[in-house]
Chains A and B, each alone.
Chain A
Amino acid sequence: MTFINNILKRLNYTQLPARGEWKAFIFKIIDERVRIITAGLNLRELRAIMRGDPPTEKPNPRYKVITTSFVAHIRPRYYPQAATWFTHTFRLGFFVTFFFVVEIITGIVLMAYYVPYPDQAYGSILAIESNVFFGELFRDIHRLGAEAMVAFSWLHLLRTYFTGSYKGPRSFTWLTGVILLAITAWLSFTGYLLPWDQLSYWAVTVGTSITESGPIVGPTLNLVMRGAPDIGAGGLLRFYLQHVILFPLLAILFISIHYYKVSREHSISLPAVVEELELPADKKKEYNRRIDLIPDLLSHEIFLIALGTFVMLAILYFRWFHSPLETHANPQSTPLDTKAPWYFWWLQGILKIDPANILENMLNPILQPLLGLFGIEFTLELSKLLDSKFIMGLIVPPVLVVILAFLPYIDKNPSRLSSKRPFAIVWGISWIFIMLALSYMGLPEYGIETPAATRVIQDLAPEEGEGPLREIPYAELSQAQGIYTVGEDYGRDLCPNIVYQPDHDKPNDIVIGCPHLTAVFNQFSERLLVAEADGRLPNLEARIIVEQVQPGMVRVTPQVDWNDPETDEAKTYEHTYFLHENRVLGSH
């Protein structure tokens, strides 16, 4: 008995209850513990929250949570009803945060298996995919979440711009948002290098090479980023540490600042129509009605989490998304079509613009005749003065980002209604199109000329990834050995005598001939013959050779011979592809 008395004394109960009052006494002890853990809610209150009943005490204990709990202090007490309209926010900011949490959880799992060293990085990714239960799933979620986070950040920015929510008290919040966009992009970009395949190695090499062109500090900056003149062990470790420590911490800091201002200082903006138009009093009252965090906003957030999780899993289940893994990084061989991740295509597009050349072309036709009047022969050569990579890579993008960050201080129009800010709306829509156009210009297809024969073969079977040639079933190729010559074999089934079963599990499903090979060959022929006809490939001789070289492996060699149109020199281009029977199995 003294033992129990001691415990009770420690819990600040001096008096034991009388016989028959024990039940109420124990309930009271539990109730008080619950109130401490939930930072203000007792059992009765929790029950009322679950049932959707009004608060059981005054003052409202549900607000007390937000002032007393460290975890909850960042949350709002309530938002005005109109600010929670789905069509006003589309929950974009919420989903960015959701993806960030997903990234942290999956990232911690992946970190346990990943080795940030060039010799082993690629192998550790293969091990994650082939030897870790749900390893591929975790990597896919991490990749999907990363790209979604970047996409939703942009959409969130656009929403804020078009609803004019960056104005007035929210100016600084907008600034932190632009910083967060940059942090998100950099987090994604640093993660891009980690698989250490050709895609990541060259995307990051191209990306970091921009800094090299900077004056004075450029080479040093490049060295700091890459850890050596080229990306190697040092560079990989630097990117890894930025990806898993520095930038996640910065992101948490800035998300906290950004969100704290929204939730505790100025709230989510009201739709402009509610804020600025004269509305009937009853409507105004309804739109400003408080929607409490507990339980309304919280239950909605739980619903959104369920929705987000389900959509991500469904996308992966139906294989609409799959994280790419190309061949091992090879500093000695640049793939033909190197490209940055899609959210940096606009940067690559900007780099293809040569301002000196454009100015020369604009000014010379005017200047030359004008100066000619005075007998002066003059040709403006700006390219010697202006380094286009430096201007378009290091000057223009930062200026754009700075303009974006300080937009609230530039745009002095006090109104948030779209009808009262037509210039801003047109400006915003134009920028969407400019960014899309720049992104298109950033694609390898734009502005880079590849010799015809190389282009044709590359399109049939890109150096990285699959392409129609690699997608020809092995069963078809292994029976279709031979040499197929362009000009002779076009337009017919190349191998009418073969029969194969595309799927071992479906014995009734058979294919006669080689439709896939024929299709690839016809495409090869057509494009080459067009190039021959328009003079790019005179004296064309081309063929596709299919040979069995090993048990379960064929070699396919597209070959093109032609004479150079200018020098008449004989030229040859060929590429060999080894295709193994098991290269595509199951759902892959």
Chain B
Amino acid sequence: MKRVQLEIVLGTIFVLLSAAIVIILGIREPQRLADYVLQQRARQIEFGAAVFQSNCTACHGSTAQGITGIAPSLRDEHFFTERLGEIGWGSTLEDYIVSVVTTGRQVSTRAQYVGGGTPAMPTWSEKFGGPLRDDQIRAVAAYIMNFEQYALGVLPTPVPIGPMVDESTPEGRGQALFTQAGCIACHTIQGISTASVGPALDGLANRAGSTVSGLSAEEYIHQSIVDPNAYVVTGYTPDVMPQNFSEILTEDQISDLVAFLQARTQ
């Protein structure tokens, strides 16, 4: 066979194989596009979770469960079913989240979350001086929307494991509660939280017994949780700490929390 004839044969085969590849890829293409959309949504949710973790947990809680008196839960049934009606929003919940995160909120729409002198929610979009780009805000909204099945009670809510928490001891459960109930938003404990709204709680065990005469350390800490205004540490203002922990937490949970705080010797 002459070289040119070989080339004609091989060239024809290559053209046919190329055509076959294009046809096969073309047949698969609609499925690929559909998969890509789902996959892109998954990556967006992951990305949103990371953005949420580094920007939103201080007020909305580590897993968007909300912090009493500071910011509402973003994964309860009310948020997913009634919130839009309450606010009179005509579009989707996801767009609502994007809108609120973008522009923030000067005044809270609910009495229990009024921010004393500061905006109820800061503006997050870089268009208004915040730190986030539009795609990051969209991703956060995608992440919150992904809570839907938990929020509507279709799936049980998982308990976050958290670092180094031994849930079999009262101190361990108390540490988990310290995060979940939102104490971390205002109080500092070395290695756990950094906030300065309320007094730091390091070394609390050493001073709790002698702060208020007549109250043991355990009684004092308990009182400070359920009735914060009974004794306010010098330099701090009354009425800042939520008054309703006795309603939110069970008596067992409060005693776990006390046990955890009583163990703060340094």
Residue positions of A touching B, CB distance < 8 A: 52, 119, 122-123, 126, 129-131, 133-134, 136-137, 296, 299-300, 302-303, 306-307, 309-310, 313-314, 317, 327-328, 481-483, 543, 545-553, 555, 557, 559, 574, 576, 578-588
Contacts and interface: CB of A to CB of B under 8 A. Distances in A.
A578 B63 contact: no
Report which residue of B29, B32, B37, B162 has the largest number of chain A beta carbons within 10 angstroms of its beta carbon.
Answer: B32
A578 B45 CA distance: 9
Given A129-B40, A299-B4, A578-B49, 9 more contacts: A296-B4, A307-B10, A313-B21, A549-B63, A550-B49, A550-B146, A552-B42, A553-B45, A553-B49
B78 interface: no
B95 interface: no
Contact of B7 (A300, A546, A549, A585): A300
B14 A585 contact: no
B89 to A, nearest CB: 23
Given A303-B10, A551-B150, A576 B32 contact: no
B155 interface: yes
A136 B158 contact: no
B116 interface: no
B17 interface: yes
Interface string B147-172: 11110000100101111000000000
Report which residue of A130, A300, A328, A588 has the largest number of chain B beta carbons within 10 angstroms of its beta carbon.
Answer: A130
25 contacts: A119-B134, A122-B135, A126-B40, A130-B37, A133-B33, A137-B25, A302-B11, A307-B10, A310-B17, A313-B21, A314-B17, A546-B161, A547-B160, A549-B49, A550-B143, A551-B148, A551-B149, A555-B49, A559-B163, A576-B50, A579-B46, A582-B38, A584-B39, A585-B36, A588-B35
A481 B161 contact: yes
Contact of A580 (B28, B42, B53): B42
B147 A134 contact: no
A553 B143 CA distance: 10
Interface of B: 4, 7-8, 10-12, 14-15, 17-18, 21-22, 24-26, 28-29, 31-33, 35-43, 45-47, 49-50, 53, 63, 133-136, 143, 146-150, 155, 158, 160-163
Closest 9 CB pairs of A and B: A580-B42, A582-B42, A310-B14, A303-B7, A578-B49, A306-B14, A586-B35, A578-B46, A585-B35
Main secondary structure of the interface of A (DSSP, over half): mixed
Report which residue of B12, B26, B40 has the largest number of chain A beta carbons within 10 angstroms of its beta carbon.
Answer: B40
A313 B20 CA distance: 10
Nearest to A302: B11
Contacts of A306: 10-12, 14-15, 18
A130 B14 CA distance: 29
A132 to B, nearest CB: 8
Contacts of B10: 303, 306-307
Contact of B133 (A314, A328, A543, A588): A328
Contacts of B28: 587
Given A137-B25, A549-B160, A553-B45, A129 B36 contact: yes
A130 B33 contact: yes
B211 to A, nearest CB: 29
A119 to B, nearest CB: 6
B161 A483 contact: yes
B18 A309 contact: yes
B35 A327 contact: no
Contacts of A586: 31-32, 35
A327 B46 CA distance: 11
A552 B21 CA distance: 34
A547 B53 CA distance: 14
A549 B18 CA distance: 46
Contacts of A134: 25-26, 29
A317 B40 contact: no
Contacts of B135: 122-123, 328
